[in-house]
Structure 1
Amino acid sequence: MPHVALDENLPGIAALFAYRPETAAPLGQLADVLLRGPSSLSVGERELIGAVVSRGNDCTFCSRSHAAVAAEALEGGIAVVEAAWKDVDGAPVSAKVKALLHVALAVREGGKAVGEDLIAAARAEGATDVEIHDTVLIAAAFCMFNRYVDGLATIAPDDQDAYKATGVRLLAEGYSRI
């Protein structure tokens, strides 16, 4: 049961955005810039970073909703996301994305967990400074989003199939109109 009076028909962050539209606008814009803005990382790769960080934070709503978007955007679909959830190194993604996922998971632990070794490994796989920057910011933002969603005990279906339509819509429309 949510800790504040939320629309029971809206899951996760959608309910929080409806509850406080004045905070929803900048948070939605941040998500759009990070996940849809110009980048050498694909939308699917950036969504995968969000899904993996959210899974590491045990945030059902964010991990499943961003998994759904990543699945729509990545060749290989949900199997790629599930593989990354299970074992980043065994996931069918590029070595660069694997290295960036390791950076993102370190951010999840704490900013100071991102050591020179992780950055050097990402650079060795071809990651640019902008890609490293954006990975750290995406991971940090998702930590905030995860704590926002779970800290207010929003509703989150546990069945991945419940998020498929959301994934299709978010891929097409982005986050400013949640």
Structure 2
Amino acid sequence: MNIGEKVKNLRNERGMTLKQLSEATGLSTGFLSQFERGITTIAVEHLSNIADLFKVKINYFFEEEPEIEPIVRGYDQPVIHKLNNMIYKQLSRTPQDKQIAPKMIEIMPHEKRELPTTYPHQGEEFVYVLEGILTLVIEKETYQLYPGDSAHYFSTIDHNWDNQTSNVVKFIVVHSPNDY
């Protein structure tokens, strides 16, 4: 990422327009637009003013961003959250800039043996069972998915999944659009 792109990211993160940045720095919007797109360079004193404006040190613009490896090792899957009897693990190193965010979900056995409440949301969903028996409810139909089974459906219809057994259920889920 070049210096102009870093300025643009800071500006966007703070909800600032090019015009507002122009007014705060005394630089024209045309110049700032070209700078953010990497078409022109900027004098150090102007970059220093921008750094002060965004409350970052000037070396922020010159630091190399570490290359993020696209691989997630099995022993290094970050837990993104725990909800009731479910553990959600992230299977993508950088899902925030992608169209999908694959997750592995582990559902622990639990006492409650009634079917889960179904609900719709935007997009579509894909599940693939790795271990155990996943109970999948789509509208009024209930399915038992075994290891190796998968399902792909529009998320806009009522659906939900659960573990109705006394063993752990592990499965992969991919949502589109990304709900990271």
Query: TM-score, normalised to structure 2's length?
Result: 0.20
Higher helix share: 1
Query: TM-score, normalised to structure 1's length?
Result: 0.20
Higher strand share: 2
Bigger RCO of structures 1 and 2 (CA < 8 A, at least 6 apart) = 1
- Is the radius of gyration larger for structure 1 or structure 2? 2
